[in-house]
Structure 1
């Protein structure tokens, strides 16, 4: 697959199986109670153990404390913690060091100046993720089906690999990759029929498009 794909917000075995069979590089499980995609550690554990070797398993959290992270990471084997809240550089580094795990840091973007916030994290995390800034009234910081100006990323360089997120779906993926230069993308709402309910057909379509990019 020319463009690596993270299928995020998985909640069922059948959706996970379609993501795996379609060639997803990452699979994400959400541990944020306000999200329609939220799982408990026990629920996620039953899915995570079915992820085959080579596909990276991501625990998505929002400003989680150490006790919450310990509960999640004890319940199931993850490769990354995705920090999708207001975690500082120091907090991201502390998670990486304490739990000996990869860290992905989400950076909210609405305008070009927002991209400058990514640089301080480069020595503290393994991946960056650029997502649309959530509206003020949003109940969760990601998965809001909103896109930003992807061309803001074109020509920018970071010392860490990065993923593009925010409002992606099969119909705009090629354009998003062309404008941003992304080598990896993250999708959640764009492969759902309603918030929190994955469409098997849309997962397959998204991964099929990514294979041809």
Structure 2
């Protein structure tokens, strides 16, 4: 395992916060379920727009806003059932209250879709990880990536969410982004509890076509996490 790397520290990068906010708002309005285009095609188009430092920071903002909104939804649900929620590890609350919980990744008030804007932002984080650690603090971003990964896999396990090509792609990119961002950091932080728990598993799951009942592949998130995050 890589425990320490030398590298340049975070730079003070001049950027326009207004441009970042405007870009995120534009992505909310121009892309989503209201657009007559496949989710992967929209995600690819969004990723192409997230260029330069403003684009990278907009990608970070998308991940942060989505993770915060998902946490707020989980907190509200759990509080109504008198359960506590730790956003570093959602698995205990899912195990305790799964039949009464709704998977929180769709229809969040933040207006970001997991398979469009979030998938695009996570892709950019993976491909531009070395630059991201220079322009912003990577620690909260890494926590948000693993938080979304935790909730994604929990949906399969506890909320009976069907694993299709869109959610499999998001999962793959979250794991890849986690690997690449940790690799770009000067010191790798420890993996969170849900990731460590999932890495001890070897479950292979059928992946369905996003628009039909046809099985088109299989995914083993525990195996992929071991290969990517323990290399």
Normalised to the residue count of structure 2, the TM-score between the two structures is: 0.25
Higher helix share: 2
Which protein has the larger Cα radius of gyration, Structure 1 or Structure 2?
Answer: 2
